[in-house]
């Protein structure tokens, strides 16, 4: 919670999204994290929503595939004119 509170103070996000292996334990971790963030940070830090990633543990994979697809689609194909 202290680390998350520090990051929230530095970058001022609208929401903190948890992905990967943390998604499985999110329901268990959420309340203690919110409490630790409130104790460790400025009063406004405790108001930042903590949410699990929409794609759960696969969020990183989905993000990487989306990035690769978008990058590949933007690359010109050799031999084709623009």
Bridge partners, 16 (sequence order): 50
Predicted confidence band of residue 73 (pLDDT cuts 50, 70, 90): confident
**Tens-digit pLDDT profile for residues 12-63:** 888 888 888 888 888 888 888 888 877 776 556 667 888 888 888 888 888 8
Question: What b-and-e string marks burial along 6-25, b requiring 16 or more CB atoms within 10 Å of the CB?
Answer: ebbeeeeeeebebbeeebee
Within the chain, where are the H helices? 2-11, 26-40, 59-74
Provide the pLDDT for residue 25.
86
């Amino acid at each position: 919670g202290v680390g998350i509170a520090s990051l929230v103070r530095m970058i001022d996000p609208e929401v903190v999204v948890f992905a990967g292996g943390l998604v499985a334990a999110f329901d268990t971790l959420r309340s203690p994290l919110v409490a630790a963030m409130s104790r460790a940070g400025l009063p406004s830090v405790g108001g930042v929503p903590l949410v699990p990633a929409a794609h759960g543990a696969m969020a990183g994979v989905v993000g990487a595939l989306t990035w690769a697809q978008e990058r590949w689609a933007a690359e010109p194909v050799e031999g084709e004119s623009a």
